[in-house]
Structure 1
Amino acid sequence: MNLKNWSKLFIQTLLVGAIVSIITGFLLPYSRESISFKDTSDILFYLLILFGFGAMTSVYSQLGFFAYMILNYTAIGVFPRKAWQYIQFVLAILALLEVMFFRSFVGRENSSQMADMLLGIAILIVAVAVAYFKVRATNPSAWVPTIFFMTAITIVEMVGGLKINDNNATIFIVIPLLACNSYQILILHKLLKRKKS
């Protein structure tokens, strides 16, 4: 990946994160209940805050994406390709189990096991959908790496949001992260094709 393609990916992912964050910020229940806008300047300021948060979330997502690319490159050199596929699959399952059950095991107060289960299921559904489109665009070997990236890496990226232990905060962090991660993994092969051509 050359500098031109990377900068294009950076800006586009930044915009994806910012736009999804703005939409999420206005759709979440707390934004309608606890925020009152006195005039247009309040709305514009709120938009600016959401845009900034989405941009920061996208940068965090891109750090996770490039960390995964380095991990994948290193692991392919260390493990046989088939073994690395199995390792990624097992780690994806463990990450999903962690996000669905960990907070109830450690006995956190005010943590809803149903909310954690729904979060894990939602991440899995998005991961499977993204993997389906990735496989259609590339080849069947993309299933496991895409599932791993969309589950395990996304869950690692959102650990800070889970520590807040508030459903709205979790949703506000997870949706832009999933959008940015989905965009990056689905656009990667197109950028690499451009480099080859």
Structure 2
Amino acid sequence: MKIKSWLFLFITTLLIGIVSAITVGLILKFPENSTMFELLLYIFGLIGFGALFSVFSQMGFFAYLTVHRFGLGIFKSHRLWNGVQLVLIAVVLFDLFYLRYTSFHKEGDSIVNYIVIPLAILVYGLIIAYLKVKQTSNVAFIPTLFFITVVTILEWVPVLKENNALSLWMGFVPLMLCNTYQILMLHRLLQKNNQKKPIAS
């Protein structure tokens, strides 16, 4: 990827992280009865939070691209590497349920509350993987599903440990939107770069 394309991806992803964090932060916890200065201070905090998770998202994205290449090199086959990724998807989704349940479950809590999040992430990942396939090829399905589920959950771990509803959603929404944007933009940027290459004489 060319520097110009990388800068475009970085800046636009950063903006998505910031805007989504501000939106979620104001919806979930609007600072009522606060002065204008306090409101601006709160918004600046949300900007920092969104920018931070946007950077987490971008680090995870490029880390996965590297790991994906290593995986293909080690297993020498898309089918075998896809199988490994499917196993990891199942393990991480189960761990998300099991670890949260064993760590934060209280008497009277419904187990459904701990199943919904992993299930919702899986469904969302399947939808994005389907869209990626429609835009590229069938080969992209498992890598996209893996990135949207496994990588997003790993990036989400710092706030998962707190089990605070506000922090959970303020971390999750920017991460998921940034990851979705990056995985769906990658092939477009690569195609654009390839179209600009001079034809060899």
Provide the residue aligned with 2:57 in structure 1: 61
Q: TM-score, normalised by structure 2?
A: 0.89
Distance 1:191 1:44, change over 3 A: same
Provide the residue aligned with 2:17 in structure 1: 17
Tell me how many residue pairs correspond in the alignment.
Answer: 192
Residue 158 of structure 1 aligns to which amino acid in structure 2?
W
Provide the residue aligned with 2:7 in structure 1: 7
Residue 102 of structure 1 aligns to which amino acid in structure 2?
L
Provide the residue aligned with 1:26 in structure 2: 26
Cα-to-partner distance string for 1:79-132 (whole Å, 9 max, x where unaligned): 122100111111111111111122323x44659643332211221122112112
- Structure 1 gap ranges (5+): none
Provide the residue aligned with 1:156 in structure 2: 154
CA shift for structure 1 position 181: 0.4
Q: 2:44 aligns with which of 41, 48, 52?
A: 48
- Name the SS of the counterpart of 2:112 in structure 1: helix
Q: 2:194 aligns with which of 180, 190, 196?
A: 196
CA shift for structure 1 position 167: 2.5
Provide the residue aligned with 2:84 in structure 1: 87
CA shift for structure 1 position 63: 0.4
Task: Please give the root-mean-square deviation of Cα atoms over the aligned residues, in Å.
Answer: 1.7
Q: 2:134 aligns with which of 122, 133, 136?
A: 136
Q: Distance in 2 between matches of 1:116 and 1:63?
A: 27
Residue 58 of structure 1 aligns to which amino acid in structure 2?
S
Q: TM-score, normalised by structure 1?
A: 0.91
Q: Is the 8 A contact 1:161 1:169 kept in 2?
A: yes
- Name the SS of the counterpart of 2:161 in structure 1: helix
Residue 121 of structure 2 aligns to which amino acid in structure 1?
I
Q: Does 1:145 align with 2:164?
A: no
Q: Distance in 1 between matches of 2:143 and 2:188?
A: 17
Residue 2 of structure 1 aligns to which amino acid in structure 2?
K
Q: Distance in 2 between matches of 1:83 and 1:167?
A: 38
CA shift for structure 1 position 37: 4.1
Provide the residue aligned with 1:99 in structure 2: 96
Provide the residue aligned with 1:172 in structure 2: 170
Q: Distance in 2 between matches of 1:61 and 1:144?
A: 19
Provide the residue aligned with 2:72 in structure 1: 76
Distance 1:171 1:8, change over 3 A: same
> Identity across aligned pairs (percent)?
36
